[in-house]
Chain A
Amino acid sequence: MRDPTLFDHRRDPVLGEALRRALDPEDGEVGNAAFVARVLARAAEVPAPSWDHVLARWARAGVAAAILVAVAAGYFVGRAGVAAPAPRPTMTDVLLSPPAHPREVEIVLASVIDNQ
């Protein structure tokens, strides 16, 4: 048997085997088989999940995934749709660009001249 050290990560086969013998039920494999039979008999009383239950579980997962995809798609589409703010015109642009309403300006000028 090895000396015990705090960080020994190896199993101790001697101690392990002795403990296994101490903890193994005396009925051995026969007892294990009886135990399995006993558990399965009790398990038969537990209602098995039906197909619609299984399908419903999958459907729930599917709906959740679809909602997630829809939300993500909505977010990205929304982001792309927002127009970037127009760049502020420079002084040169203002001076060179034609007036927005040239005809109105002419009318105003003409009326001023007529009044004089």
Chain B
Amino acid sequence: MVARAAAGDRAAFGTLVQRYAGVARRVAHAVLGNPEDADDAAQDAMLSALVKLEQYDRRRPFGPWLLRIVANAATDRRRRRTVRRAEPLDPGFVAGGPRPDTTAERRALAERLREALAELPERRRMAVVLFDVEGYSHGEIAEILRIPEGTVRSEVFHARRRLRALLVDWKEDG
């Protein structure tokens, strides 16, 4: 598929984009904290990958290679953009106030998780998302983020500790 895409087969490239759209959008969202910016970054990354396909070493897995480009595109965009502050949380949610239904509850939890993610250092954020959401191994994440595997373990550990505490609080509040 990659070889065909590299040879100019746009249908093959389309299949690749379709396969990795979800993960690319999520990883970019984790870095940027804003879905519109995330989509722009993910799109830049996909187009950058298309241009660089010739450089891809086909003996290695494609996912980490692509996600490295996505992570770089998102990081670059975050550095370039003016800092946008997320909308403040509804005080009711912060105080563990009443939650009318499950959908609203889930939405509120998601919002709190995004807030908590935004507080984490960028590398830590990406590490935990790639590990617990996308299922990449520590070794693959080390390759994506270009950091030692031990550092990945440490980043995932610290991110989990913070996020799990939030989840536990949420359950206790409920």
Residues of A within 8 A of B (CB): 1, 4-9, 11-12, 14-16, 18-26, 31-32, 35-36, 38-40, 42-44, 46, 48-50, 54, 57
Contacts and interface: CB of A to CB of B under 8 A. Distances in A.
A22 B161 contact: no
Dominant SS among interface residues on chain B: helix
B113 A19 contact: yes
Interface residues of B, number: 48
B110 A22 contact: yes
B29 A25 contact: yes
Contacts of B17: 36, 39-40, 43
A5 B73 CA distance: 31
A14 B166 CA distance: 12
Interface in B107-162: 109-111, 113-114, 117, 128-129, 131-133, 135, 137-138, 153-154, 157, 160-161
Dominant SS among interface residues on chain A: helix
B168 A26 contact: no
Contacts of B106: 21
Given A22-B109, A36-B17, A48 B25 contact: no
Interface of B: 6-8, 10, 13-14, 17-18, 21-22, 25-26, 29-30, 35, 38-39, 42-43, 46-47, 50-51, 54, 106, 109-111, 113-114, 117, 128-129, 131-133, 135, 137-138, 153-154, 157, 160-161, 163-164, 167-168
Contacts of A44: 10
Contacts of A12: 132, 160, 164
Contacts of B137: 9
A24 B135 contact: no
27 contacts: A5-B157, A9-B137, A11-B132, A11-B135, A12-B132, A12-B164, A19-B129, A19-B133, A22-B117, A23-B29, A23-B117, A23-B129, A24-B22, A35-B21, A35-B25, A36-B17, A38-B43, A39-B17, A39-B43, A39-B46, A40-B14, A40-B17, A43-B17, A48-B10, A49-B6, A50-B8, A54-B8
